[in-house]
Amino acid sequence: EAGVAQSPRYKIIEKRQSVAFWCNPISGHATLYWYQQILGQGPKLLIQFQNNGVVDDSQLPKDRFSAERLKGVDSTLKIQPAKLEDSAVYLCASSLGTGNYEQYFGPGTRLTVT
Amino acid sequence: DQQVKQNSPSLSVQEGRISILNCDYTNSMFDYFLWYKKYPAEGPTFLISISSIKDKNEDGRFTVFLNKSAKHLSLHIVPSQPGDSAVYFCAASDEGNNDMRFGAGTRLTVKP
């Protein structure tokens, strides 16, 4: 079974530029999550999708971050414009559904904003 | 707000001995707890979980203990192996909310 795929793996941009990350979840997984992991901290949930609908985006900085999951499969997370404090690893995860299901994580995208 | 805390940033044990990783939480609504393991340049991988209706769950060398009254859980690895060296994250969620909160992680080093 293929795991969660993410691209790119690494990205370096200057502040005020824009960037987009892509995620392909495990086939059949209805729920998709985007997390931000700052160095030395645990992952923090940014947004959760159930199929193509948003379940929770309470911790997403909506003035600069946006995410979509068209057709309920792949998802993209965008930052525009980026700030220095956005430097982090962005993790995508998927699970069979909401409730007590373990989440399967992709390898992450390491973003450096200079 | 840090609802899940792992107060030990690192732990070093000898191969064959027991590793005990600890985790505390503050939100009494949490009813599902998980441990994830993370190697460098990889995403976290699920290790073991426990529901709040249990106080112990065992899977091979890994056992998770939950003390609800103390809002504390621990992961025991026996015997520890060098391949267990990784960062371990404790996570908790409220089944109805599904907003999983992670601790900051504990780096385990198992020495041969």
Non-local (6+) Cβ contacts of A56 within 8 A are: A45, A47, A48, B97, B98, B99
A10-14, A28-32, B45-49, B91-95 — which is least confidently predicted? B91-95
CA distance B36 to chain A (A): 10
Mark yes or no for CB contact A42/B99 under 8 Å: no
Contacts 24+ apart (CB under 8 A), A54-63: A55/A31, A55/A98, A55/B98, A56/B97, A56/B98, A56/B99, A58/B99
CA distance A39 to chain B (A): 9
Report yes or no: A61 and A36 within 8 Å, Cβ to Cβ.
no
Mark yes or no for CB contact A44/B102 under 8 Å: yes
Report yes or no: A23 and A5 within 8 Å, Cβ to Cβ.
yes
Interatomic CA distance for residues A44 and B103, integer angstroms: 10
Report yes or no: B82 and B15 within 8 Å, Cβ to Cβ.
yes
Low-confidence ranges of chain B (pLDDT < 50): none
Mark yes or no for CB contact B46/A103 under 8 Å: yes
pLDDT of residue B75: 98
Is the pLDDT confidence value at A90 over 80?
Answer: yes
B59 interfaces chain A, CB cutoff of 8 Å: no
Position with higher pLDDT, B99 vs A59: A59
Mark yes or no for CB contact A102/B42 under 8 Å: no
Mean pLDDT on A66-92: 95
CA distance A18 to chain B (A): 23
Indicate the average pLDDT of chain A: 93
pLDDT of residue B23: 98
CA atoms within 13 A on the CB side of A67: 32
pLDDT of residue A97: 78
Mark yes or no for CB contact A42/B4 under 8 Å: yes
pLDDT of residue A1: 64
